[in-house]
Structure 1
């Protein structure tokens, strides 16, 4: 596996290194020791799938508040997305900066999203499926989100009118001092 750190500290693009033969190939996608060597938690306790029927579907930007904050490993198993992460960590030098990473099934690459980040994506093609692996189980009362179109973040999405859930449309806009609580994010 190749680990490439994104511009946001702690978030990595992880690319498998296939070993090919006439049958196809074999590649590791998670290796606890390799993850630990990069300071990443690979103790995944839950996995979920998100299927999206139409291109232009936007989900996010989601996160869980402490003590239920989670690391995520996000991989596309069918189709393609633009995956977006936002650093929300109060003491981070990249706080409120975002990074967009194209992910698709053909590359088999994954994005490691650390605790203290919001995460979302927009589908680029119909019938896109995303596999999430999380280090903390989902806790409904701990879930929260940021607005996908918040002017304070100024994320450059490749779409102007996405397909959204009511809850993703309803997240409030950020205001100065938002999420300053040091206990909310590790």
Structure 2
């Protein structure tokens, strides 16, 4: 499995070796040993899955301490543009974001440590998005930022208006945000 790092410390992409033949494909989707060696050593307690139409945007979400979550995300079907925003005030990349295209055909995964907001946009119909979380969902710890925040200026890679939930459209702007991390 190939390990890629980014200028924003803590984000790690894992790209597995995909073995394909006339029967289909096989690849390893998780290795605690390899991921821990790379710095993604969270203890996973919950798996989540969503199915989205092309153009559905979910995010930007996080959970506040003491229920903050690291995430390991991938796409089981289709493609998505994944976005992680650094919310760690002591980080030199605070307020910066990283995008990674996740594709079922590649099997690539992105590790997002605690201290990031996370979101994605489905690039194909019937995109199945899978993620492991290091803590359980806690409604009282829910937080988020506007997906279209002018300060963050995230390039979602689409020229058409995304489909966004009413709840996500009501999230605060980055300028009104006080980081709990």
Normalised TM-score (structure 1) = 0.90
Runs of 4+ in 1 over 4 A off after TM superposition: 19-25
Q: How far apart are residue 36 of structure 1 and its match?
A: 1.4
- 1:170 equivalent to 2:166? Answer no
- 1:13 equivalent to 2:13? Answer yes
Give CA-to-partner distance per residue, 1:139-169, whole Å, 9 cap, x none.
1111110101101101111234110101100
Separation in 1 of the partners of 2:51 and 2:88? 29
Q: Answer whether contact 1:41 1:135 (CA < 8 A) is retained.
A: no
Structure-2 change in CA distance of 1:98 and 1:107 (3 Å): same
Name the residue aligned to 1:57: 56
Give CA-to-partner distance per residue, 1:18-55, whole Å, 9 cap, x none.
35566444332221121111221242110010111x21
Can you give the 5+ residue segments of structure 2 that lack an aligned partner in the other structure?
A: none
Q: How far apart are residue 91 of structure 1 and its match?
A: 0.4
Separation in 1 of the partners of 2:145 and 2:119? 9
Q: Answer whether contact 1:30 1:42 (CA < 8 A) is retained.
A: no
Separation in 2 of the partners of 1:89 and 1:162? 27
Deviates most, 139-148 or 32-41: 32-41
| Match runs of 1:11-90 below 5 Å | 11-19=11-19, 23-52=23-52, 54-90=53-89
Separation in 2 of the partners of 1:105 and 1:127? 12
Name the residue aligned to 1:93: 92
Give CA-to-partner distance per residue, 1:4-29, whole Å, 9 cap, x none.
01221101111112355664443322
Can you give the 5+ residue segments of structure 1 that lack an aligned partner in the other structure?
A: none
| Total equivalences in the alignment | 180
Give CA-to-partner distance per residue, 1:76-125, whole Å, 9 cap, x none.
01111110110000100110000111111111101111100000011111
| Match runs of 1:144-159 below 5 Å | 144-159=143-158
CA RMSD of aligned residues (A): 1.6
* Paired residue secondary structure (1:37): helix
Normalised TM-score (structure 2) = 0.93
